[in-house]
Amino acid sequence: MPILFNLRHLEQKALALEGELPIAELDVEGFDELIHPRNALHYDLDVEQLGDSVLVQGSLELALDCECVRCLRTFRLPLTLGDWTCLLPLTGAEQVARVSDCVDLTPWVREDILLAFPQHPLCHPECRGLPATRGANRLPASGACSGDEGSSAWAELNKLKL
């Protein structure tokens, strides 16, 4: 079910919205082959009317299963937008779409979640990637990304006398 609120309810007082949005509703699966959202998005939002606009503030939390771009290992990355804010105009050319005085926040949440996805997910900042191997290309053995004490591929290239 999308994140909806009724504008008529804002006339008396501010609203508090809390709950979970299934990943299927958020429609963020498949935008990056290295990032896979697995759990529902948890939201805790405050909605209030400010003149001809609606101000939405709160937090968004989503757990991502990512693949490290260096070592190709799977790891869990918590994505938290702790002070998420959205200002929705109620009048003018860019006014927010309404259906029976209800506004759907899902498109704005979706956009900001996609913008917060990591561009190059790393299991940890010191990850050295796949070990340099001679011969066949192999996936790393366990612990390979944490820093094998062998020479790196760059060190081997630096030895070349061209």
- The residue that leads in pLDDT, 32 or 112, is 112
Which amino acid is residue 12, in one-letter code? Answer: Q
DSSP state, 144? Answer: G
How would you classify residue 93: left for phi > 0, otherwise alpha for psi between -120 and 50, otherwise beta?
alpha
Q: What is the pTM of this model?
A: 0.76
CA-nearest of 112, 116, 145, 120 to 33 is 120
Q: What are phi and psi of 155, to 5 degrees?
A: -65, -40
Residue 130 confidence class, pLDDT cut points 50, 70, 90: confident
The model's confidence at residue 60, banded by pLDDT at 50, 70 and 90, is: very high
115-123: average pLDDT: 92
Average predicted confidence (pLDDT) for the chain: 86
The pLDDT-based confidence of 147 (bands split at 50, 70, 90) is very low
Contact 106, 25 (CB under 8 A): yes
C-alpha–C-alpha distance, residues 35 and 106, integer Å: 20
Tell me the per-residue pLDDT of 86-107, one tens digit each, with 9 for 90 and over: 999 998 888 888 898 899 999 9
